[in-house]
Chains A and B, each alone.
Chain A
Amino acid sequence: MRMPEPDSGIIARRTEIVARLREIVPGEGVIVDEDELRAYECDGLSAYRQLPFIVVLPETTDQVSRILRYCREAGVKVVPRGAGTGLSGGALPLADAITLGLGKFNRILEIDYPNRCVVAQPGVTNLAISQAVAGEGFYYAPDPSSQIACSIGGNVAENSGGVHCLKYGLTTNNVLGIEMVLMDGEVIRLGGRHLDSDGYDLLGLLTGSEGLLGVITEVTVRILQKPETARAVLLGFPSNEAAGACVAAIISAGIIPGGMEMMDRLAIGAAENFVHAGYPLDVEALLIVELDGPEAEVSHLIERVQGIANDAGAVVSRVSRDEEERQKFWAGRKAAFPAVGQLAPDYYCMDGTIPRKRLPEVLQRTAQLSEQYDLRVANVFHAGDGNLHPLILYDANNPGELGRAEDFGSDILRLCVEVGGVLTGEHGVGVEKRDLMGTMFNEDDMKQQQRVKCAFDPDGLLNPGKVYPTLHRCAELGRLHVRSGETRFPDIPRF
């Protein structure tokens, strides 16, 4: 992976930079020893590693502001980091950059039931928010599978999803406000406890900006009342086509399930072997459809879903009898990644999104690629919203196999774009998909995005080398070429 050339001038000034950072963050908050830095050398995409230049763990917004202002003045790059669970290398350190860890921002600041929101520091885990409000019957809807460990600040930076997005939205639909610090140290608050501030929707822009625009120091999220009931139905199909058709038919019938997940034969077998969820092993595709709401609604819709599934050729149709069984149905799906991980020494998780109806074709072509690369692949799929997670099995100890797995993954993502989808549904571009951005966006598309970056970070010091394959200087991006003398104006209807 090609990263920006480390600045030897910055590296040479390490002692001075550490001293200045220690003036801002006293005590043990500045980490310089190689052994301790090692803990920060990668995020959830562990194939890429780099020892950070220095790690700083501030505890207050004021410290973040002073660190960034100093780094801006000194020309030092900064890589923000939440819990380090990201899967695209967004928090991959740079040899000449400070890794700014937000792990000490770990407090829930306020639970505001009258306004149905929680104000939290960015290092609070996703699950901790739901747990903090569970006693009153509330929860925070987006539930990425890493929710036990991932931080809410990281969720905002990546616009994380989960299995309930189709009905309840992504992070971006559930965040009300943030406090962030710009690279020049300015502290800016966006939104609050109300909806839709007028002015540009910078809150929406920041969500999913992968640490390139600002450092988030506080997050306000909406909380929802838990549904009265939830039940899941397991549906087994003799082919991926039949399962895909069932998904389309459910949605066409006007039903938006709380969750709708699909697994292919290899994933089903692995999950069943791992957690004994009771999955049928003689089907090609398995759907888990969850309906939630009042009992009257759930029983009505379950019946309709089962009818639709029968028409689509389901050979297995089982409704969870109680909460324990519902949890069991989900346990297999939730453990699918580690379960598939048991099938091979290593696996590589992809994250494209496709229009739902192209699923059978994409799975078929993925199978062809699997033969071509001689690597097995298991498919787990957020069927409701078209988000596909192929898991490529490989063994890093076999020379060349990692490279082959990466090439295979890139081909799958190109395929997703080709059928009208996108490179990443919820894991982010990071470094992993950076060099594939050109398959989805042309140079002008990416330049416009980078101009937005310039409005926030004109020197390109915040998380450089991520998301965009080519770094343009802001002065160059700002240059305007006026086409004088050759306007085709006369062709436009005038009044």
Chain B
Amino acid sequence: MTETLKPQSAEQVQDAIHWALAGNASFEVAGGASKRAYGRPLDAAHHLDVSGLTGIVFYEPEELVLAARPGTPMAEIEAALAENGQQLAFEPADLGPLLGGGAASTAAATLGGAVACNLAGPRRIKAGAARDHVLGFHAVSGRGDVFKSGGRVVKNVTGFDLSKLMTGSFGTLAVMTEVTVKVLPAPEKARTVLLLGVGERTAAEAMTMALHSPYEVSAAAHLPAPIAATSAVSLVSGAGAGVTAVRVEGPGPSVEYRCKALRDLLAPLGATDELHTANSAAFWREIRDVSCFTADGAAAEQVWRLSVPPGEGARVGEALVRDTGGRVFYDQGGGVLWLAMAPRADAAHAAVRAAIGAGGGHATLVRAAPEVRATVPVFHPQPAALAALTARTKEAFDPRGVLNRGRMYAGV
């Protein structure tokens, strides 16, 4: 019989894991379960629901630090930060709707989930991903041992940085019971410069020019014409052409200056325009959450996320479109590509990964039917030595495979 255990404390998490160890059982671990369809499907017998581990443990705005239990809703964290003019600078994507969870999944998203999936957003290029903001954590390993790592200060090299390992481990190593993150002041002002009517190659050139400038660009994306047309921001959807967008954030006078400087810089490449506060925020939320592939008409498509050297983005994008027949848009200065394509049993994984080429990078199958995710390598295949090291790392935390076994790689 399948059990769903919902621990309310770290001690109960430990009890649950000991119970599983004693009975050779395994758990699917989830918080709000908004990203349950991200990763390989599990054959775990039982569910460990950590959504009961909630609440902000402490939040000290002047120290730029917040600690919370992992089941705390992101909405609660973000509201607490907003009250003090602060934010999670890594701009965590809300992937629930993309993964088919609808609006309800947005409310279900938790801090623990953002950390477990190492989420980031367009600001990744300037502020980092979740990995760069986790300062420490408390957890129970798959061995049933309570342990902690890191601390509450940014500068800390005391012992191995296990926070990095936990971040992006998809719950396969240990169950976090408290996580401490760095928070930062929200920018006073944001503006987005639009370059209208450009193709991929010019867009790549524009993003590189912007990122090579001293204007501290905090996001750079490119939408080909059909994808730009789906935006809710009228300046973007009404362009009738490809749109490249570059964001600047900071104190008012600085943003105004940099916005103008970037328009001047990019003007030789095409017509420019700009988005102010609300439109800028709405636009980057669409990019962050991959909204263009969330619409009803796109729901059946398979979605890949690729991370490549930014200078390779345009070339990789052209190969993806050619070899899969899909649609692509570019974030993070061309370094991240999102691909949506008609569903195939093999998700065209060989073609997608071949497109990356010698420059290196990785491709993750973010959305596909469970039977596809069960057979196609969802996470980028690793060379043998790295795969063996990955398996040994898993074993160091969870030797019996109690936690989310197989979520990332078969048997891990």
Q: Which residues of A contact B (CB under 8 A)?
A: 112-117, 137, 158-159, 161, 165-166, 169-170, 172-173, 182, 186-190, 192-205, 207-209, 212-213, 225-228, 248, 251-252, 254-256, 293-297, 300-301, 353-357, 382, 385-387, 420-429, 433, 437, 440-441, 444-449, 451-456, 467, 478, 480, 482-485, 487-489, 491-495
Q: Are B395's CB and A169's CB within 8 A?
A: no
Which of B7, B132, B362 contacts A492, CB < 8 Å? B7
Q: Are A114's CB and B310's CB within 8 A?
A: yes
Q: Are B393's CB and A455's CB within 8 A?
A: yes
Using Cβ atoms and an 8 Å threshold, which residues of chain B touch A213? 160
Q: Complex Cα distance A454/B8, Å?
A: 33
Which residues, 22 to 53 on B, are CB-close (under 8 Å) to A?
Answer: 22, 49, 52
- What 8 pairs across the A-B complex have the smallest Cβ distances? A204-B164, A297-B254, A114-B311, A254-B185, A192-B360, A425-B155, A455-B392, A193-B309
Tell whether A205 pairs with B379 under 8 Å between CB atoms, given A194-B362, A451-B396, A493-B5. no
Q: Are A294's CB and B258's CB within 8 A?
A: yes
Is B208 an interface residue, CB under 8 A from the partner? yes
Which of A166, A357, A437 contacts B159, CB < 8 Å? A437
Using Cβ atoms and an 8 Å threshold, which residues of chain A touch B169? 200-201
Q: Are A382's CB and B309's CB within 8 A?
A: no
What's the tally of chain B residues with a CB closer than 8 Å to chain A?
107
22 A-B pairs within 8 Å (CB atoms) are namely A115-B309, A117-B309, A188-B385, A194-B308, A198-B362, A198-B364, A200-B390, A202-B390, A213-B160, A255-B185, A293-B250, A294-B257, A385-B155, A386-B155, A445-B148, A449-B159, A455-B389, A484-B22, A489-B19, A492-B12, A493-B8, A494-B4
Which residues, 359 to 380 on B, are CB-close (under 8 Å) to A?
Answer: 359-362, 364, 379-380
Q: Are A192's CB and B361's CB within 8 A?
A: yes
Q: Are B309's CB and A158's CB within 8 A?
A: no
Q: Which residues of B contact A (CB under 8 A)?
A: 3-8, 12, 15-16, 18-19, 21-22, 49, 52, 60-65, 85, 118, 120, 124-125, 128-129, 131-132, 141, 143-149, 151-165, 167-169, 173, 184-186, 188, 208, 211-216, 250-254, 256-258, 261, 307-312, 332, 335-336, 359-362, 364, 379-380, 382-383, 385-386, 389-390, 392-393, 395-397, 399-400, 408
CB of B300, distance to nearest CB on chain A (Å): 24
Q: Complex Cα distance A424/B159, Å?
A: 9
Using Cβ atoms and an 8 Å threshold, which residues of chain A touch B163? 204
Using Cβ atoms and an 8 Å threshold, which residues of chain A touch B118? 196, 201
Q: Complex Cα distance A137/B209, Å?
A: 13
Q: Point out which of B61, B145, B261 has the most chain A C-beta atoms below 10 A from its C-beta.
A: B145
Q: Are A421's CB and B151's CB within 8 A?
A: yes
> Who on chain A is nearest to B165 by CB?
A205
Which of B128, B173, B379 contacts A173, CB < 8 Å? B128
CB of A410, distance to nearest CB on chain B (Å): 14
CB of A289, distance to nearest CB on chain B (Å): 15
Q: Are A426's CB and B157's CB within 8 A?
A: yes
Tell whether A166 pairs with B154 under 8 Å between CB atoms, given A116-B212, A194-B308. yes
Q: Are B158's CB and A429's CB within 8 A?
A: yes
6 A-B pairs besides A205-B164, A251-B62 with CB distance below 8 A are A187-B385, A196-B118, A422-B151, A423-B158, A425-B155, A455-B392
Q: Are B309's CB and A192's CB within 8 A?
A: yes
Q: Point out which of B3, B6, B19 has the most chain A C-beta atoms below 10 A from its C-beta.
A: B19
Q: Point out which of A195, A387, A484 has the most chain B C-beta atoms below 10 A from its C-beta.
A: A195
Q: Complex Cα distance A455/B387, Å?
A: 12
Using Cβ atoms and an 8 Å threshold, which residues of chain A touch B132? 169, 172-173
Q: Are B157's CB and A201's CB within 8 A?
A: no
Using Cβ atoms and an 8 Å threshold, which residues of chain A touch B214? 137, 225-228, 294
> Who on chain B is nearest to A204 by CB?
B164
Q: Point out which of A114, A424, A488 has the most chain B C-beta atoms below 10 A from its C-beta.
A: A114
Q: Complex Cα distance A489/B22, Å?
A: 11
CB of B382, distance to nearest CB on chain A (Å): 6
Q: Are A248's CB and B62's CB within 8 A?
A: yes
Q: Are A455's CB and B395's CB within 8 A?
A: yes
